[in-house]
Amino acid sequence: MIDKNHCLILDEQDPLAHLRQQFTLPDGVIYLDGNSLGARPRNAGERARRVIEQEWGDGLIRSWNSAGWQKLPQRLGDRLAALIGADAGEVAITDTTSINLFKVLSAALQVQAGREPQRRVIVSESSNFPSDLYIAEGLIRMLGQGYSLRLVDSPQQLPAAIGQDTAVVMLTHVNYKSGYMHDMSEMTGAIHAAGALSIWDLAHSAGAVPVELKRSGADYAIGCTYKYLNGGPGAPAFLWVAPALCDLVPQPLSGWFGHARPFDMATHYQPGSGIVRYLCGTQPIVSLAMVECGMDIFAQTDMQSLRRKSLALSDLFIQRVEQRCAGYDLELITPRDHARRGSHVSFAHPEGYAVIQALIARGVIGDYREPGIMRFGFTPLYNCFSDVWQAVEILAQILEHKTWSQAQFQVRHSVT
Amino acid sequence: MIDKNHCLILDEQDPLAHLRQQFTLPDGVIYLDGNSLGARPRNAGERARRVIEQEWGDGLIRSWNSAGWQKLPQRLGDRLAALIGADAGEVAITDTTSINLFKVLSAALQVQAGREPQRRVIVSESSNFPSDLYIAEGLIRMLGQGYSLRLVDSPQQLPAAIGQDTAVVMLTHVNYKSGYMHDMSEMTGAIHAAGALSIWDLAHSAGAVPVELKRSGADYAIGCTYKYLNGGPGAPAFLWVAPALCDLVPQPLSGWFGHARPFDMATHYQPGSGIVRYLCGTQPIVSLAMVECGMDIFAQTDMQSLRRKSLALSDLFIQRVEQRCAGYDLELITPRDHARRGSHVSFAHPEGYAVIQALIARGVIGDYREPGIMRFGFTPLYNCFSDVWQAVEILAQILEHKTWSQAQFQVRHSVT
């Protein structure tokens, strides 16, 4: 049986332990919600100050060129590419995940319409992140013409649901609720074998697990930078398109930043070549620039090392919860199989919402998703093994004494 | 003939002069480009620091509720409403101008499809801001079904172009290049008389000229916050929908922030009631929060006072240029008529690009638009009459000595 001392030794031996110093975390908090909003890199404030005071305040309009604002979506995209198995020039950081999904889903349907126009079904999972499903619904409503969305209730049902009518399979790589992780390579192979295109939402993958977009043969990917990438609240999202598909069609949100020559101010749109055609309007520069602070920290390690520690943390958490909290109606929702697990662990409990509130009141920040699911994210950049030990101790005390029944219910709804 | 002393007296008598102290402007710069990127409010850095250090760093995920991030698009929209003749609850600050145009243009076409489906023409001006035209093209390409864009080459041609086939008329209130301002009320009346709906782009109007959306009967409006509203580089844009139209149809970028109950995490989309249905994904909170710094300054004055000073500044500029720079091939592009003039003044010159570069090198920051057009924005919050005097003196010296022919050409392209 693991004891607290063993966790302290694990922390001492942790080759990534020094990275925690690059984040600011409030005293008395064990932060297990980096899967929702990543912690603040220590240098984010200084970066923002530079953009606001020097680039905006002193440089004014000149900074679009002199401070590189104009190319920032692509320059930061180049840095992100290495973390998701893509190449420089293929990724842009821009807009929001939902809007980027609209762009790539529209593009994928256009590509199929030019090849096999009878393919008009979008396949996804009913457990996919709701906003992804809503975007597909919005696009389908707009297109009419027999397009439809087919949802399956489990990953195992996917193969049978993908057929000759399928245009696109739209999946979130790591499920936001359960933490289930698809085999991207195998699933993409099955999708292609059926003649469909794949879209991968990497919201819970980028910076959390190794991702090999190109090696797995993926077609399109989107994701956010404010979770494991620590870009800041609501920081702009990203998108990637396989080079062979990128220039086949324009995407419908065809704003001037995606034009081949935006400053010609031509009357008609002509899409640029490459990922630039997926840009649309002017980006929020201060929020965008801060994304680089997270990138700077990732540059000091690699995804394999992070994955090793992430699994060690989530293994420890599962093991300790099952030892220390046995008999308290907790049900593990997340796969035990490393190959199927992302970087967060979810347990269901009949009073899950109240228990999470009690945990937050004691400084252990996880979050809650209906029905009854408590999520705990493990971020190897700043979480340590003693954090896990301590979090489980507090969870056990809450369950033992049922202190959750008196917890103040402040926050029912927090953003993913 | 006006002399420099007269300008100094005008500055002394200016009731808005004290507001300049609320901005930081670099020494030695006369900034006449607030129509492109507004200057930095003095308190923007402090506001960003609070969001980054306290709300993000200490509050972490809890700040979605405790710091009000969740409702920030609507709360700031309520503050903007007063500046554009709308009511609280009708405006949201979110996404980009181009994306917001896609939303309202899609919605307007849906409304017409339910009423008079033969109306499938979008009317606009060939001189409209190109990104607006590109968005219309992208939407039309996606919809197919006989939708088309009809462009006229001058405002005078608009009435004849709007007919029984017209679904929507999409106009920018103040032209980005010429500074020509439409009569919103009269034009909206003509649009409605022809059975069409109106979309107004207020990019060069909000915070620049008095706007009365509701009084003029407008249907939809969009615009940006980074020009005259001083929200910061690429700060999120805004949109407004007439209450009678808002709940008639959903818009296609139907992300979870627009759902009636986003945290139910339901499988199917159900649009919220009111402007919330025009929200889509998670917003860049740091950039968004700073928009309030500009609002705080506007709250200390009113649009009538600002308009009075804006016209006095642009009148002075036109008069001085025509006196001091006579014979140097400058052609006024902007209407002399106050009722048709926004808050910037444009002159064409055969070497306009080189002249602007020479001006920037001397600290007078205006900007350039093809072909040969020099734009000078007048922002009554921080520009003064002596600024105008001095800017024209420098312009005259450049034209007289042809120093523009030796200017270093650093920046061909800057963002509108």
pLDDT one-digit tens code per residue, B229-268: 999 999 999 999 999 999 999 999 999 999 999 989 999 9
B217 secondary structure, DSSP code: T
CATH of domain B68-299: 3.40.640.10
- A40–B52 C-beta distance less than 8 A: yes
What are the domain boundaries of chain A? 4-42+302-409, 68-299
Q: Which of A49, A69, A103, A254 to mutate to test the interface with B (most CBs of B within 10 A)?
A: A254
Predicted confidence at residue B238, as pLDDT, reads 98
DSSP strand pairing (B91-93 vs B238-241) = antiparallel
Topology alike, domains B4-42+302-409 and B68-299:
no
Residue B61: which of A37, A126, A236 has the nearest Cβ? A37
Q: In this predicted structure, what is the pLDDT of residue A403?
A: 82
B238 as an active site residue: the answer is no
Average pLDDT value for residue range B194-201:
98
Is A49–B48 a contact, with Cβ atoms under 8 angstroms apart? yes
**Mean pLDDT in chain B?**
96
What is the per-residue pLDDT for A406?
65
B232/A56 Cβ within 8 A: yes
pLDDT at residue number B411: 46
Tell me the C-alpha distance between B289 and B311, whole Å.
31
Q: Which of residues 327-366 of B touch A (CB under 8 A)?
A: 360, 365
Residue A40 in contact with partner chain B when CB distance is under 8 A? yes
Short-list A30, A25, A310, CA closest to A179: A310
Please write the tens of the pLDDT for every residue from B350-409.
999 999 999 999 999 999 998 999 999 999 999 999 999 999 999 999 999 988 776 555
Question: What pLDDT is recorded for position A416?
Answer: 43
* pLDDT for B156 beyond 70: yes
On whether the CB atoms of residues A167 and A121 are closer than 8 A, the answer is: yes
Q: How much is the pLDDT for B1?
A: 72
Query: What single string gives the DSSP state of each residue in B94-128?
Result: -S-HHHHHHHHHHHHHHHHHHH-TT--EEEEETTS
How far is the CA of A18 from the CAs of A23, A39, A61, B60, B331, in angstroms?
10, 15, 39, 21, 64
pLDDT above 90: residue B150 = yes
Mutate to test the interface with A, among B70, B142, B151 (most CBs of A within 10 A): B142
ipTM of the complex: 0.96
State the pLDDT at residue A410. Answer: 47
Q: Is residue A146 less than 8 Å (CB to CB) from chain B?
A: no
Best probe of the B interface among A33, A93, A133, A134, by most B CBs < 10 A, is A134
Q: Do the Cβ atoms of A149 and A115 come closer than 8 Å?
A: no
Element (H, E) at B133: helix B130-143
> Residue A149 phi/psi, 5° resolution?
-115, 130
Please state the rounded mean pLDDT for residues B170-197: 98
Give the integer Cα–Cα distance in Å for B193 and B176. 27
Say if residues A126 and A253 touch (Cβ distance below 8 Å).
no
pLDDT tens track for A278-301: 999 999 999 999 999 999 999 999
Residues of A in contact with B232 (CB under 8 A): 52, 56, 284-286
Mean pLDDT of B137-144: 96
For residues A259 and A279, give the distance between their C-alpha atoms in angstroms, rounded to a whole number: 8
Shortest alpha-carbon distance between residue B94 and chain A (Å)? 10
Q: Does B259 touch chain A (CB under 8 A)?
A: yes
Task: Give the pLDDT confidence score for residue B2 in this predicted structure.
Answer: 85
Q: What angle do CA B249, B212, B152 make, to 5 degrees?
A: 70
Which residue numbers in chain A have pLDDT < 50? 410-416
At residue A411, the pLDDT reads 46
User: Is B133 touching A (CB cutoff 8 A)?
Assistant: yes
Would you say A124 is a known binding-site residue? Answer: no
The superfamily CATH assigns to domain A4-42+302-409 is Aspartate Aminotransferase, domain 1 (3.90.1150.10)
End-to-end CA distance of chain A: 34
Interface A–B counts its CB contacts (< 8 A) at: 312
Q: Which residues in chain A are closer than 8 Å to B39, comparing Cβ atoms?
A: 57, 60
CB contacts, 8 Å: A288 with chain B: 234, 284, 287
Q: Where are the beta strands (DSSP E) in A202-272?
A: 220-223, 238-241
Q: With a cut of 90, say whether residue B330 has pLDDT above it.
A: yes
Whether omega before A233 lies within 30 degrees of 0, making that bond cis, reads: no
For residue A332, the cross-strand partners are: A347
Residues of chain A in contact with residue B142, where contact means CB-CB under 8 angstroms, are 106, 142-143, 252
pLDDT, tens digit (0-9, with 9 covering 90-100), for B38-69: 999 999 999 999 999 999 999 999 999 999 99
Query: Using alpha carbons only, what angle is made at residue A343 by residues A338 and A349, rounded to the nearest 5 degrees?
Result: 95
pLDDT of residue A2: 85
